[in-house]
C-alpha cells in the first residue's frame, strides 16, 4: 500500500476504521433526518442547522444575538 499524505503536513490521516465509523455516523444522521420533518426557519435552512450555528457562537456573540431577539420580540 502506498503511503498517503494530506494538504496539511501536520494533520493526521484517518485510519480506515475511523473513516468507516464516520460514514456510519453520517448514514445514521441522514436516516434520522429522512424519518422526520423538521421546521424551517425563514432562511430556508433546517432548524437543526441554525441551532448548531447558535451552539457554536461565543459568549459575546450570544449576548448580541440575545439583545437582537429581545428587540424583535418587543416589537
Residues 38 and 48: beta-carbon distance below 8 Å:
yes
CA atoms within 13 A on the CB side of 54: 12
Q: What is the pLDDT of residues 18-66, one digit of tens each?
A: 889 888 988 888 877 776 766 666 778 888 888 999 999 999 999 999 9
Domain ranges of the chain: 16-74
At 52 the three-state DSSP class reads helix
As a three-state string, the secondary structure of 27-40 is HHHHHHHHHCCCCE
Let me know the angle formed at the C-alpha of 46 by 58 and 69, rounded to the nearest 5 degrees. 45
Task: Please tell me the pTM assigned to this model.
Answer: 0.42
Amino acid at each position: 500500500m502506498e503511503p498517503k499524505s494530506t494538504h496539511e503536513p501536520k494533520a493526521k490521516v484517518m485510519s480506515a476504521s475511523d473513516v468507516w465509523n464516520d460514514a456510519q455516523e453520517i448514514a445514521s444522521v441522514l436516516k434520522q433526518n429522512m424519518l422526520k420533518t423538521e421546521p424551517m426557519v425563514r432562511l430556508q435552512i433546517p432548524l437543526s442547522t441554525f441551532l448548531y450555528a447558535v451552539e457554536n457562537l461565543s459568549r459575546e456573540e450570544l449576548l448580541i444575538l440575545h439583545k437582537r431577539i429581545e428587540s424583535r420580540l418587543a416589537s
